[in-house]
Amino acid sequence: MGFICAGNWKLNKGPKEANEFFEDFQAKAQGLLLSDFAIYPSAFSLYTVSQELREKGFNWGAQNIYWESSGAFTGENSVEILKEMGATQCLVGHSERRALFGETNEQTAQKMLALANQGITPVLCVGETLQERKSGQTNAVITSQLREALKGWNANNSFWLAYEPVWAIGTGEVATPQQAEEAHQVLRAELEKLLAEKSKKTPILYGGSVKPENAFELAKMPNVDGFLIGGASLKVDFFRQIYQQGTKAKQSS
């Protein structure tokens, strides 16, 4: 695996725009290692994306999931249905889910387990608010979000981890490379504590206002294994440029 570039489209792009994105991406994808990429479209565009990406090695999946497989749960989507569509991954615990929809640490743990049971890789998001950073709680908050989400976790299962400081999401204010590296080091150490040797296979992505202009410096940090990109993942050219900057930074360090 090279430098990971994952795009969280949030509530953007219906099926038509999703289709256009992948037509454009594929036209410009020569020489790119598709397994370094991931996209999380809105639920209603997942079927279209499944038609574009099935069996291509590109990682893709939902932005949220429910842990029950079926039943009277109006409005929810299950891991089983996601799997049937051919998805390989799913976001868990994004800060917008936590802040706007009340997602708890207990729920992130349930989602992690439900996904792992079906062989879908969770992409767990953790991150502190500005207030938490200012009051010196960053490390405590992110390690506790990680520990809580891994309750009952079997170390043989794989997942990706994303550090997304809430104050840097969609604000244009990006963490400095040092801030990102420090948080990633803390998370890496916590992963080692929780999962021992097996923790080494978990990549840690940085997310929060990643753009082509700041990608190189962030990607130079030894513990930044990739990015989780919101706004800039909506444009094929930005997404590709970020990947190129990330790959170049890793090759030069």
Selecting among 94, 103, 128, 184, the annotated active-site residue is 94
Instruction: Determine how β-strand 59-62 pairs with β-strand 37-40.
Output: parallel
The nearest distance, CB 99 to ligand 13P, in angstroms, is 11
Strands (DSSP E) along 70-180, which ranges?
A: 89-92, 121-126, 160-163
What b-and-e string marks burial along 19-53, b requiring 16 or more CB atoms within 10 Å of the CB? Answer: bebbeebbeebeebeeebbbbbbbbebbebbbebb
Residue 76 is among the residues annotated as catalytic for this protein: no
The nearest distance, CB 145 to ligand 13P, in angstroms, is 15
**DSSP secondary structure letters along 140-166:** HHHHHHHHHHTTT--TTS--EEEE--G
Residue closer to ligand 13P by CB (options 66, 160) is 160
- Residues at the contact surface with ligand 13P, assessed by CB under 6 A: 8, 94, 164, 169-170, 207-210, 228-232
Residue closer to ligand 13P by CB (options 195, 239) is 239
Residue 184 is among the residues annotated as catalytic for this protein: no
Query: Using CB atoms, what's the residue nearest to ligand 13P?
Result: 230
Three-class DSSP category at 63: coil
Residue closer to ligand 13P by CB (options 169, 218) is 169
Selecting among 164, 181, 184, 190, the annotated active-site residue is 164
Q: Which residues are catalytic?
A: 94, 164
